[in-house]
């Protein structure tokens, strides 16, 4: 690190003991390099290539294609775990695949395709051991919502499907680019609160969508907001089918009760894991026996055998359609990426291994591109499925391979059986899955801890439920950014005082026992000092001095020195430096001395380059508050000392 | 202050000596109030109403209408100064008024009107003593550029003029609202670099515009970018009039030489101040004598006597035109406000008195609204004019009144004389004024000190010169905001070491003499900890530990404790707290103890509310690095101690 920041060309002179180190500023290249590194390579990915050379190539391969890293050390014992986990998630993937495909208005078989190829690709390139690859409800609905604008799935299912593939392709390319440019930072802008609000909102509208299936409606709206959906349901009440509704409620109760059971006895997680499969099978038999389709229980309908057909020639880049596909791809991609990376990170954390967000993006990207060539739509690592995978004891990405193989068998031989699956069963499965995503406790917690986070969360929630998913997302992200800007526009600073019998200086409001030094005001400035908060800072400091002097009139000691503790200020820009100059001027006029305590390296560099250091004089810079106070006390005695320019170490 | 932040309902318990003060979190209202206060009332405007009640009302009046504050104490001695200053700026206001009006494609007389009413209004409500009110080149051009889009000044001068008035009205209302809502913060987002770049760019395109006048062209473009202007000039070279060109060059040389003189001998500032007037008069006579208009020297043309006619009934709110007026009003308003407030602030600073940005906005707002009712267009406190006013020795806003009265006399009696003013003279005046605004040294300084600020500046500059003024503004502001976001996405943190024989802990890269404590890593975190930088922070810390341990393999001591110095972290959000929880988990797994040093009050509150404090255990919180190290050393001896939960003060 040292060389990357100090610049090998600028050997730092040994600073005067306990004096501020006015090292020669690093040249631009070194500074830029280190900043770029912090911004794009925070996890220092190339470190494993350093060291003994002979292994470098192997390491590089292992780095870019993680499978080479773990497969050699793979053994039967591990496989036993992965086999069990793989079968479990497969049993979950089949019903979910079909359900979410319906949610995206695409043929159910595509949902099954999407759980065959992508997991295999991820197993090669992915670095997480516990993610289970599959389709997600939120993104499926978002894609449908966006593409329905230009093409109706009812009127032109072919074109619609092709645009869905195109969207998946866009997502893949997008993820790949982000990954290669190491722009994982992009995903960081989806805050915890945003995701909470967005997910809860989505869960609600997805559930409402399911009422179509539960009530067996044939006419419905393509809109997703609460108002128009409820209106569609009520206005079509002629079509309500009580049989379907009853079946639906039975299934839902069953699913929710198994979930509750699993919550109580974590050992029995598998019950809730396979329950969707049970629902599908039972539902299928039932529908088959009683010819449910004749009694108002709609069924999925033809699912023919066979593996993924190629779809690369279906990708549609005509300008009049592509715009929609692009939007769908980017939006759903952003969401899916965020979800996948977050889940990957959290399991890596819990199991003490590392995942690299940017490498994950590359894996996701490849998986979606290959997917879009083989009749799959957007896939990622969903929370729910990955959780099941983890609980089922998955050890490596092999569990995804197992799932993919199970899916292959299904596609080859069993697909037709599932054509009897009642829509209502799928609706029940989706609803059950969604209930888990409505995080009201979390929202309440946000409300308790941080009101603004709560607003961000609610902005997303209501945006999604009452307008549309993308609007919800934008509102929420917009609010987060506004908050960030507002914050840097008003960095909180405070007045410091000495703690009893110690040289520690702390916020006198936080530590009422801290006492100020008469005649000297110590201010701790917040970070950053920026064009957006300079004039505020100036006014704030002026006000502090004013208040102090007002009090002084009653108390006595007037402000003679102002110390600015810049220890916490990590960066400053030109406007910021201008401001410091102005503040110094004002103080000089008032006959108050200004001292700057412990400036950080970046800040000091800018101060030096802009000649502020020379203008103010090096004797205004101190390494600690204590030293500054000593200096002031000293220079009060030999007042001459204060006038003449001298170097701190002569004083301290 | 104390009560406003600690909340009178939550008396802070005396903290354990040198222990972290886990005071009961302030309730939302107090916290919100104090934040709102910092955000919108940083200068604490209501403070003067406190204190003895009998004077409160008078004080309130004085506060809202500053004239009542200074007029009573006004005397003849002060007036002598203001009289001189007023006459001087009047002599500048006449030519500038006419010139900038031409720049805005509106009748020159409107330029004179605009220097009559608005200054009077400002004198009543303004709090700056040195601002001189008048029209500005940049805004004039920006208004023209924006309104030309919907109405051509050539084809329908009436409608065009009405829209210009409407824009002024919009600006006024906008400023008034910003002022009352105390949103001065809005203007803070125009950074020093943005203004530098934008102004320089504007100066260049304004100069190019003047070539029309200098070459006496009749056909020209309504576009402002360099390319189309140059093209227009060259394609119309048939129309070039050498007489006009020569006269123009003479005037320009004269103006620039007087400026140079004034720069050399500041005493002679008045020479450059009145030189534009000289140019107008001389030019006028010359044109009158030689019948210049017949020899290709265009003149301003009819200026009839009389004061401002009412124009309130001209304000045009038809939707198809209002959009343009709105845009023009908001954009030019933002610029004008920023310029006016900046100049006001800097003179207040230099002369040791206070101006309140928000009050200034209200004054500007009223001045522009009244102006728009009385045939004036956008006015503010321009840099150049205010500088002259200050140098001429103005003491109070009275100088504006004097200028207004001079202007009144001109309008009543002398206006027609100015109708002979040659356009070329005006062009020369504008160009001379603009040359001063091209700040190449400043741009170079930015380049030297801060590359990103330089990029922001250039973005504005090239945006203005090659596209259009609004685009330039957006680019520049956009870049500034992006930078701000990038910054908070990567707050620089550093590793601390103890300075030789002292308990000061400083960045070991900044102070190479600082030495780390074996087995303990002390990290100073940057501020804020935010959704945008959480995952970065996690990876950064993990990396530090990894590197440390890698080195350890050769050196020896492995990391046993990690101390996070949060003294500089002024705020944290939910995602940030989640992250700390995760970091703690990771460290626990690695068997590393985490300590948090000196959390600030806001941060500690959130930690308490979100139960992080209880989860982590209060013994993980330390008031200083030294205490933490002592604690660790202690608990290494009696290792039991580390296990059992105990309160810092038992340890320290």
Question: Which residues in A lie closer than 8 A to residue B355 (C-beta atoms)?
Answer: none
Phi, psi (rounded to 5 degrees) for B320 = -70, -20
b/e burial code for range B336-354 (CB count within 10 A of at least 16 → b) = bbbbbbbbbbbbbbeeeee
- Cβ within 8 Å of residue A426, ≥6 positions away: A95, A98, A99, A102, A213, A280, A300
Pairing of the two strands B593-597 and B621-622 = parallel
Contacts of B495 (CB under 8 A, 6+ apart): B507, B508, B509, B516, B521, B522, B523, B524, B544
Which CA distances in Å does B228 have to A316, B155, B205, B222? 39, 21, 11, 9
Give the integer Cα–Cα distance in Å for B420 and B425. 11
Largest Cα separation within chain B, whole Å, is: 105
Going through A256-326 in order, the beta strands assigned E by DSSP cover: none
Across A217-248, b (16+ Cβ under 10 Å) vs e yields beebbebbbbeebeebbeebeeebbeebbebb
> What is the rounded distance in angstroms from the CA atom of residue A340 to the CA atom of residue A363?
11
State the pLDDT at residue B3: 40
**Interchain contact, A577 vs B449, CB within 8 Å:** yes
- pLDDT value at A210 more than 70: yes
Partner residue opposite B511 with nearest CB, options A21, A528, A539: A21
Nearest chain B Cα distance for residue A570, angstroms: 6
- The pLDDT of residue A457 is 92
Per-residue model confidence (pLDDT) at position B241:
79
Asked whether the beta carbons of residue B598 and residue A506 sit closer than 8 angstroms, the reply is: yes
Q: Is A510 in contact with B590 (Cβ distance < 8 A)?
A: no
Least CA distance to A20: which residue of chain B? B511
Identify the pLDDT of residue A614.
Answer: 87
Query: Burial of A72 by CB count in 10 Å (0-12 exposed, 13-18 middle, 19+ buried)?
Result: exposed
Q: φ and ψ at B53, to 5 degrees?
A: -70, -40
Write out pLDDT tens, residues A561-606: 899 998 888 888 888 888 888 888 888 888 888 999 988 888 888 8
CA–CA gap between residue A469 and residue A472 (Å, rounded): 5
A389-446 pLDDT, tens digit each: 888 888 899 999 999 999 999 999 888 888 888 888 888 888 888 887 888 888 898 8
Q: What pLDDT score does A488 carry?
A: 75
Q: What whole-number distance in Å separates Cα of residue A564 and Cα of residue A571?
A: 15
Query: Which of B483, B527, B623 best probes binding to A when mutated, by most A CB atoms within 10 angstroms?
Result: B527
Please give the residue of chain B at the shortest CA–CA distance from A11: B512
Q: Which of B35, B188, B513 faces A535 most closely, judged by CB atoms?
A: B188
Share of chain A above pLDDT 90, in %: 20
CB B488 within 8 A of CB B506: no
A354 contact residues in B (CB cutoff 8 A): 542
CB atoms B570 and A568 under 8 Å: yes
Contact state of B570 with A575 under an 8 Å Cβ cutoff: no
Question: What's the pLDDT band for A553 if we cut at 50, 70, 90?
Answer: low
3-state helix, strand, coil in chain A (%, to 5): 65, 5, 30
Distance from CA of A643 to the nearest CA of B (A): 22
* Positions of chain B with pLDDT lower than 50, given as ranges: 1-17, 638-652
Task: Report the distance separating Cα B103 and Cα B136, nearest Å.
Answer: 10
Q: Cis peptide leading into B528, omega within 30 of 0?
A: yes
Nearest CA in chain A to B356: A539
Distance CA B379, CA B400 (A): 13
pLDDT band at A379 (very low <50, low <70, confident <90, very high): very high
Stretch among A21-25, A90-94, B512-516, B586-590 having the lowest mean pLDDT = A21-25
End-to-end CA distance of chain A: 31
Residue A191: list chain B partners with CB under 8 A.
Answer: 531-532, 573-575
Q: Pick from B233, B206, B213, B210: which is nearest to B221 by CA?
A: B233
The DSSP-derived string for A399-449 is HHHHHHHHHHHIIIIIGGGGGG-BHHHHHHHHHHHHHTT--HHHHHHHHHH
Contact A449 B610 (CB under 8 A): yes
Cβ within 8 Å, pair A42-B540: yes
Interface probe for A, chosen from B17, B194, B501, B511 (most Cβ of A below 10 Å), is B511
Here the ipTM equals: 0.72
CA distance A378 to A100: 11
Determine which of A4, A178, A490, A553 to mutate to test the interface with B (most B C-beta atoms within 10 Å): A490
Output DSSP code: residue B465. Answer: I
pLDDT tens sequence across B466-477:
988 888 888 998
Per-residue pLDDT band for A634 (boundaries 50, 70, 90) equals confident
User: Cβ–Cβ of B185/A526 closer than 8 Å?
Assistant: no
- Mark yes or no for CB contact A486/B575 under 8 Å: no
Is the pLDDT at A648 greater than 50? The verdict is: no
Do residue B543 and residue A43 have CB atoms under 8 angstroms apart? yes
Tell whether omega for the bond before B271 is within 30 degrees of 0, i.e. cis. no
> Does A193 contact B531 at a Cβ distance shorter than 8 Å?
yes
Mutation for B interface: A492, A496, A540, A623, most B CBs within 10 A: A492
Measure CA B609 to chain center: 37
Verify whether the Cβ–Cβ distance A535 to B184 is below 8 Å: yes
Instruction: Calculate the CA A114 to chain-centre distance.
Output: 24
Of A27-31, A199-203, A453-457, B566-570, the one with minimum mean pLDDT is: A27-31
CB distance A23–B528 less than 8 Å?
Answer: no
Q: Which residues of B touch A535 (CB under 8 A)?
A: 184, 188, 345, 357
Residue B615: CA atoms inside 13 Å, Cβ hemisphere, count?
A: 16
Chain B: residue whose CA lies nearest to A352: B586
The predicted model gives A112-117 an average pLDDT of 93
> How many angstroms separate the CA of residue A651 from the nearest CA in chain B?
17
Distance CA B403, CA B122 (A): 12
Task: Mark yes or no for CB contact B188/A492 under 8 Å.
Answer: no
User: Per the CB < 8 Å rule, is B506 touching A451?
Assistant: no
Question: Using an 8 Å Cβ cutoff, are A213 and A248 in contact?
Answer: yes
Mean pLDDT to the nearest integer, A522-528: 85
Q: Structure pTM? A: 0.72
Identify the pLDDT of residue B465.
92
| Chain A residues lying within 8 Å of B43, measured CB to CB | 539, 542-543
Say if residue A114's pLDDT is above 90.
yes
Q: Count CB pairs under 8 A between chains A and B.
A: 287
Cβ neighbours of residue B571 closer than 8 Å, sequence gap 6 or more? A487, A492, B527, B528, B529, B530, B602, B603
Of A543, A601, A606, nearest to B449 by CB-CB distance is A606
Residues of B in contact with A39 (CB under 8 A): 486, 489-490
What is the DSSP annotation of B353-409?
Answer: ----HHHHHHHHHHHHHHHHHTT----B--HHHHHHHHHTT--STHHHHHHHHHHHH
Looking only at the bridges linking them, the beta strands covering B561-565 and A621-622 are: unpaired
CB contact under 8 A, A527 and B568: yes
Highest-confidence range of A48-57, A232-241, B75-84, B342-351, by mean pLDDT? B75-84
State whether A582 and B349 contact (CB < 8 Å).
Answer: yes
User: Using the 8-state DSSP alphabet, how is residue A10 labeled?
Assistant: S
Closest Cβ–Cβ partner in A42, A191, A452 for B536: A42
What are the start-end ranges of the H helices in B24-75? Answer: 28-40, 56-64, 67-70
**Do B185 and A536 make contact, defined as CB atoms within 8 angstroms?**
yes
Confidence grade of residue A483 (pLDDT, cut at 50, 70, 90): confident
């Amino acid at each position: 690190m040292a060389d990357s920041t100090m610049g090998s060309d600028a050997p730092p002179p040994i600073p005067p003991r306990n004096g501020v180190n006015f090292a020669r500023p690093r040249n631009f290249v070194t500074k830029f390099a280190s900043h770029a590194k912090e911004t794009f390579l925070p996890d220092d990915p190339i470190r494993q290539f350093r060291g003994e050379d002979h292994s470098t190539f192997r390491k590089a391969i292992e780095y870019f294609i993680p499978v080479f890293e773990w497969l050699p050390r793979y053994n039967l014992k591990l496989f036993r775990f992965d086999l069990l986990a793989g079968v479990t998630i497969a049993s979950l993937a089949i019903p979910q695949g079909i359900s979410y495909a319906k949610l995206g208005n695409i043929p159910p078989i595509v949902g099954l395709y999407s759980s065959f190829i992508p997991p295999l690709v991820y197993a090669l390139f992915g670095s997480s051991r516990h993610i289970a690859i599959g389709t997600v409800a939120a993104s499926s609905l978002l894609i449908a919502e966006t593409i329905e604008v230009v093409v109706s799935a009812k009127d032109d299912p072919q074109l619609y499907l092709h645009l869905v593939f195109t969207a998946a392709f866009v997502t893949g390319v997008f993820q790949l680019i982000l990954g290669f440019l190491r722009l994982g930072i992009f995903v960081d802008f989806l805050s915890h609160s945003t995701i909470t609000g967005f997910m809860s909102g989505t869960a609600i509208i997805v559930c409402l969508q399911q009422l179509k299936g539960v009530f067996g409606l044939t006419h419905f709206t393509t809109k997703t907001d609460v108002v128009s959906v409820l209106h569609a349901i009520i206005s079509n009440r002629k079509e309500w089918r009580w049989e379907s509704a009853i079946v639906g409620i039975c299934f839902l109760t069953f699913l929710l009760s198994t979930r509750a059971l699993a919550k109580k006895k974590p050992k029995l997680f598998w019950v809730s894991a396979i329950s969707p499969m049970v629902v599908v099978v039972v539902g299928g038999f039932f529908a088959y026996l009683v010819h449910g389709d004749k009694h108002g229980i709609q069924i999925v309908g033809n699912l023919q055998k066979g593996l993924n057909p190629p779809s690369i020639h279906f990708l549609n880049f005509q300008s009049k359609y592509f715009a929609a596909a692009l939007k769908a791809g980017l939006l759903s991609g952003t969401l899916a990426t965020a979800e996948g990376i977050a889940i990957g990170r959290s399991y890596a954390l819990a199991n003490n291994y590392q995942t690299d967000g940017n490498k994950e993006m590359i894996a996701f990207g490849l998986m979606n591109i290959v997917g879009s060539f083989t009749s799959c739509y957007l896939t990622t690592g969903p929370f729910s499925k990955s959780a099941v995978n983890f609980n089922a004891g998955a050890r490596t990405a092999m569990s995804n391979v197992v799932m993919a193989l199970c899916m292959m068998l299904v596609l080859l031989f069993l697909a037709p059986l599932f054509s009897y699956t009642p829509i209502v069963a799928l609706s029940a499965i989706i609803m059950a899955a969604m209930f888990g995503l409505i995080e009201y406790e979390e929202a309440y917690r946000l409300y308790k801890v941080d009101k603004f986070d709560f607003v961000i969360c609610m902005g997303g929630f209501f945006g999604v439920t009452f307008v549309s998913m993308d609007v919800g997302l934008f509102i929420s992200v917009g609010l987060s950014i506004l908050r960030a800007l507002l914050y840097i526009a008003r960095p909180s600073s405070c007045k410091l005082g000495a703690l009893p019998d110690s040289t520690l200086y702390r916020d006198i409001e936080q530590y009422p026992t801290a006492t100020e030094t008469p005649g000297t005001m110590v201010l701790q400035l917040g970070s950053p000092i920026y064009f957006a908060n300079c004039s505020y800072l100036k006014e704030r400091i002026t006000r502090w001095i004013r208040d102090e002097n007002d009090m002084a009139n009653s108390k006595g000691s007037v402000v003679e020195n102002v110390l600015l503790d810049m220890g916490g200020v990590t960066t400053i820009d030109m406007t910021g430096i201008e401001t410091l100059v102005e503040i110094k001027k004002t103080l000089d006029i008032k006959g108050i001395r200004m001292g700057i305590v412990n400036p950080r390296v970046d800040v000091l560099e800018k101060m030096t380059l802009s000649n502020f250091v020379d203008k103010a004089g090096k004797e205004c810079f101190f390494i600690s508050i204590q030293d500054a106070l000593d200096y002031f006390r000293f220079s009060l005695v030999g007042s001459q000392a204060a006038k003449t320019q001298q170097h701190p170490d002569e004083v301290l």
